[in-house]
Chains A and B, each alone.
Chain A
Amino acid sequence: MWRTLLLLVIMPVAFAETDNLMPQRKQVLQELLKNDCGACHGLTLKGGLGPPLLPEALAGKSDTMLVDKILHGRTGTAMPAWEKIINVQEAHWLVQYLKKSR
């Protein structure tokens, strides 16, 4: 009960502020992106079995949609739901990270 209440308080903050992840966790997410997302989208994210994830490919696609695809996958494709491994806040951070040109 208390936990639910606490979550309700924290959640909107988490949505708004995506950059309060621990540096170690960001490192883990970057490695995950390179190695595990990279298994289908390419180590350099230029695409493979899955589409490219470079900033120009993602430009114009809404954050909400992209976060949803990361967490819940895309039916009819090989994109799995990552919600057991990545939480909402982390998915938001990944989308921001991917959209930034590096």
Chain B
Amino acid sequence: MIRSVVFLFFLLFFQPVLCLAELRGTGDLGVIIERASHSALIINTSDRSILSRIEGLGDVSHASVVFSRDQRYAYIFGRDGGLSIIDLLSGKIVKRILQAGNSIGGAISQDGKLIAVSNYTPGGVKIFSGDTLELLADIPAFYNDKQRSKVIGLVDAPGQRFICSLFDAGEMWLIDVKNPKQPKIKKFQNIGKQPYDALLTPDGRYYLAGLFGEPGLALLDLWNTEAGVKRILGDYGKHETKLPVYKMPHLEGWTIAGNRMFVPAVGQHEVLVVNTVNWQLIKRIAVAGQPVFVMARPDGRQIWVNFALPDNHQLQIIDVKNMELIKTLTPGKAVLHMEFTPRGENVWVSVRDENKIVIYDTNSFAIEKNLTANKPSGIFFTSRANQLGL
């Protein structure tokens, strides 16, 4: 009897509190960068809604995001060297530091405990504790004894390692952080002129850097690092005039579908299809402009491509089965980025100059919903948390 009264009492007085403390997962959340207003949106991909806006993130004009392996926290790498941890549940900045003058991106370690950032100024890599953002190692990207190179294409690799490329030096550095305060670095030199971005294949085996200063890509096989870095597609585009490149392609979205890899051609209106067994060119697919992101739907059946100025109002879709263009969409002015939902039924597209996010059904290509965002750029879903190289 007394117990029931206490229970009733409890229900009456504490129910509102219980309602507020609603339990929630974070596996269907994501972050959208608002590049001009120092802010980011937290979104939900199941009910396609905006949950909150986080402000005070500094210059996020080229920001990228990685997620903690519990998918609760987002690490945002800002252009101004800002590194912020955001709690997706509370919608708040947990911690924020300025770690360099000019930064380009970052990665999270295999065990989820370390955050690495690649910097332009001063050129190098810094390793931080993922919990506290305490600096554990500072690795200046020295070459030619005195100069420091801009560092690009930083990704995690199996074996508690990071890999990056040095734009000015033409090198790849494989950084072992098993002892994060004393990283061991293996350097690969003369990989090619001006590596501008790089990616890790989804199986974590190959690291590829695109070259701006000469044709082709630099390839490192992590199962066989002794073999060194080799050049692939070195003959591609050698005798053709390169168009002016108004926007560097991004290679994080380079795409493996089966044993075929789809890559943007630099300075050409083409997507290249490469055989990942012998690394030979299979096909060149003519597209509407210079590709920026070339991304596969998670099932690998479709490739979605966006473009540099002046063709950046369009999206084109390649059917992987026949390696042919099947659709051209025009989401609006300045299509900057796209992100697939974890199993690929939808793709979210940021349209900077029209201040909107367009959500497409990837089977019918119908627009399912538009959301308003302020000059949106990068879109990052928490499903990235457990993917190598993202």
Contact with A along B327-356 (1 / 0, CB 8 A): 000000010000000000000000011000
Q: Are B244 and A39 in contact (CB under 8 A)?
A: no
Q: Are B196 and A49 in contact (CB under 8 A)?
A: yes
Chain B nearest CB from A101 CB (Å) reads: 19
The reply on B35 being an interface residue by CB < 8 A is: yes
The reply on A85 being an interface residue by CB < 8 A is: yes
The reply on B306 being an interface residue by CB < 8 A is: no
Stretch touching chain B among A7-15, A59-67, A75-83, A91-99: A75-83
A43 CA / B79 CA spacing, docked (Å): 9
Chain B nearest CB from A46 CB (Å) reads: 7
Chain B residues 222 to 257 lying within 8 A of chain A, measured CB to CB, are 244-248
Q: Are A39 and B248 in contact (CB under 8 A)?
A: yes
Select one of A38, A46, A80, A85 contacting B245, CB under 8 A.
A80
Complex contacts, A76 vs chain B, CB 8 Å: 213
Chain A nearest CB from B6 CB (Å) reads: 59
Q: Are B61 and A38 in contact (CB under 8 A)?
A: yes
The reply on B310 being an interface residue by CB < 8 A is: yes
A84 CA / B244 CA spacing, docked (Å): 9
Select one of A31, A42, A48, A80 contacting B244, CB under 8 A.
A80
Q: Are A43 and B35 in contact (CB under 8 A)?
A: yes
Number of interface residues of B (CB under 8 A): 28
Complex contacts, A35 vs chain B, CB 8 Å: 334, 352
Complex contacts, A49 vs chain B, CB 8 Å: 104, 120, 150, 167, 196, 248
The reply on B53 being an interface residue by CB < 8 A is: no
The reply on A55 being an interface residue by CB < 8 A is: no
The reply on B102 being an interface residue by CB < 8 A is: yes
Complex contacts, A46 vs chain B, CB 8 Å: 80, 101-102
Complex contacts, A87 vs chain B, CB 8 Å: none
Smallest CB-CB separation from B243: which chain A residue?
A80
Select one of B102, B247, B353 contacting A48, CB under 8 A.
B102
A31 CA / B333 CA spacing, docked (Å): 13
Complex contacts, A81 vs chain B, CB 8 Å: 244
A1 CA / B194 CA spacing, docked (Å): 45
Select one of A39, A44, A47 contacting B247, CB under 8 A.
A39
The reply on B309 being an interface residue by CB < 8 A is: yes
A31 CA / B354 CA spacing, docked (Å): 13
Q: Are B121 and A47 in contact (CB under 8 A)?
A: yes
Complex contacts, B286 vs chain A, CB 8 Å: none
Complex contacts, B352 vs chain A, CB 8 Å: 35
Complex contacts, A40 vs chain B, CB 8 Å: 248
Select one of A31, A36, A44 contacting B246, CB under 8 A.
A36
Q: Are B61 and A85 in contact (CB under 8 A)?
A: no
Q: Are A85 and B309 in contact (CB under 8 A)?
A: yes
Smallest CB-CB separation from A31: which chain B residue?
B353
A34 CA / B334 CA spacing, docked (Å): 13
Q: Are B309 and A36 in contact (CB under 8 A)?
A: yes
- In the assembled complex, 5 residue pairs joining A and B whose CB atoms fall closer than 8 Å, in A order, are A36-B309, A39-B248, A47-B120, A78-B245, A80-B244
Beyond known contacts A85-B309, A85-B310: 13 more, CB 8 A cutoff? A36-B247, A36-B309, A38-B61, A39-B62, A40-B248, A42-B79, A43-B62, A47-B102, A48-B62, A48-B79, A49-B104, A76-B213, A85-B246
| The 5 nearest A-B residue pairs measured at CB | A43-B61, A80-B244, A81-B244, A80-B245, A39-B247
